[in-house]
Amino acid sequence: EVQLVESGGGLVKPGGSLRLSCAASGFTFSSYTMNWVRQAPGKGLEWVSSMSSSSTNIYYADSVKGRFTMSRDNAKNSLFLQINSLRAEDTAIYYCAKRLSGSPLDYFDDWGQGTLVTVSS
C-alpha cells in the first residue's frame, strides 16, 4: 500500500522559512516523479512543483519560483520542499502527490494527508 506522510508544517511569521518533508513507502520511490500541491483554507487546489525521479527535471509555479526549492533523497524515500520568504498567501495545506503509475504525465494517483502551513504575525 502506497503511503505518503507529510510533516514540517506550522505557524511561521511573514518572511520566515520552513522545510516540509514527505516520507514515502509502499512503492519504488526512486522511479517516480513527485509533486507538491497546496490548498489555501476554503480554496481550490494549486500545483506548486514537480521533480523527476532522478531530480533532473524540476518545475515550479510562478507564484513560488525563487522562494521554494524542491528536493528529494531517493536513498531515504523522502521528498522535501524548502519554503523561504513566506507570505500570508502561502498559508495552505501542502500535499505531496505521486505521479500515476505508468504515466509519462503528472496525473496524481496517490496523495498524502497534507501538512498545514500558516503564515501570520
Using rule CB under 8 A, residue 23 touches another protein = no
Binding segment (CB under 8 A) for another protein, from list 9-17, 18-26, 73-81, 97-105: 97-105
Using rule CB under 8 A, residue 108 touches another protein = yes
Using rule CB under 8 A, residue 62 touches another protein = yes
Using rule CB under 8 A, residue 40 touches another protein = no
CA distances from 50 to 6, 14, 41, 67 (A): 16, 25, 22, 15
Burial 60-78 (b: 16+ CB within 10 A, else e): beeebeeebebebebeebb
27 closest CA partner among 4, 55, 51, 2: 2
Number of residues that bind another protein (CB under 8 A): 23
Using rule CB under 8 A, residue 44 touches another protein = yes
Site for another protein, rule CB under 8 A: 35, 37, 44-47, 50, 59-62, 95, 100, 103, 105-109, 111-114
